[in-house]
Amino acid sequence: MRFPRRCRAGSPWAPSSGPGPAAPAPPREDARWRGSFSAAQNPVSPGKRGENTAENKEIRLRIPIGSEHKGRSDTRSETVHRGRGMQPSDEDWMLRAIELGRRGRPAPNPHVGAVLTRGGRLIAGGHHEKAGTAHAEVNAIANAQGDTRGTTLYVTLEPCNHHGRTGPCTEAILQAGITRVVVGAVDPNPHVRGGGIERLRAAGVEVRTLVLSASAEALVAPWAKVQTTGLPYVLLSTGTGSRILPMEMDALWMGAREWDAAPTASAPLTVVAAPGVELLRRVARRSTSTTDRCLVFCPEARHAEYLLATGSAAITVVPLPYADGTPLPLSQALRELSRQGVVTLFVDAEEPLEQGLRDAGLVDGELERQPDRKVGT
């Protein structure tokens, strides 16, 4: 599987600001609303795109993306082109599922979206909001709030067929009486690849695969890399100016000097390599009253010394087989971060580290810095 070299606008890991087209702001979500929307709030089905003529009218749809509790309903507008009398295609519905899949913060799980339809009309949609919670397919079925027998399910990633923190989605699909499933991307994990599709087909469900597969695979590219290589998806900061952070990342690898100066963390996990014992003590004293998570790589021979310097701070010290003054074993470091649950890693550190990642072929994408503007320009 090939992964995108540059971050696509609108993907969860695209830059939140900077030159070029800006990625759309992530929609607001209400934790009480199970992933997305139901037909009661979106009775109009999307259609095929075409010319805006008398036979192909432009329709403004208001798609709920938040909560309707206590009369509230957060919405956004979406423009689609619908030919009169034309039924939406599988590609149209899969595009809607991909849009839903961009929501949530599911790491270390993948971004997944699902749409449930009957007779060319929308019934409900769902997405995977957070690891350990219901998957997109289950949320779409729950949001239907009615009879789902004989419906078609569009899902961006092959439904799982194994027990984890939640049950298999294939069983939920069968219990719901869904008779047709359209899949965007097949599961990249070689141990389970195709298992969900085979289970559904064996039960008599019609399954179509690889619909808008390139876009569906791009949606799960970071997770797919972890599944196939055991390494996180690495984004590298390039150019000069102010740092541009991706909209979604699990860890920020920064330089030791910046770590010393940074008053607060800007990522769920901050990673630093061999900052030195004195600097570690300084940051540890400053971090004892915060919940910021930090991970420090150090030479094996100095593990006990580094560990003692952390005190009671929330700093994880990971020893690696290298000595002071020698290059850090980057592949081993990245595998350790993957074990820590890191799917997307953003690196903005010293030039030798960044160049080492490039030379080892460990970089998957780049984010250019925002050029600093002079006063009056």
Task: Judge residue 45's burial from the number of C-beta atoms within 10 Å of its C-beta, 0-12 exposed, 13-18 middle, 19 or more buried.
Answer: buried
User: In whole angstroms, what is the distance from residue 232 CA to residue 345 CA?
Assistant: 6
Beta strand 315-320 with 293-299 is parallel
Beta strand 152-157 with 113-118 is antiparallel
**In this structure, are residues 121 and 39 in contact, taking their beta carbons and an 8 Å threshold?**
yes
User: In whole angstroms, what is the distance from residue 129 CA to residue 111 CA?
Assistant: 8
User: In whole angstroms, what is the distance from residue 217 CA to residue 101 CA?
Assistant: 11
Amino acid identity of 352? P
Helix (H) or strand (E) holding 95: helix 90-101
Three-state SS at 97: helix
**Would you state the structure tokens that stand for residue 53, as one six-digit string?**
């003529």
Q: What is the largest CA-CA distance in the chain?
A: 75
Q: Any idea which residues carry the catalytic annotation?
A: 137
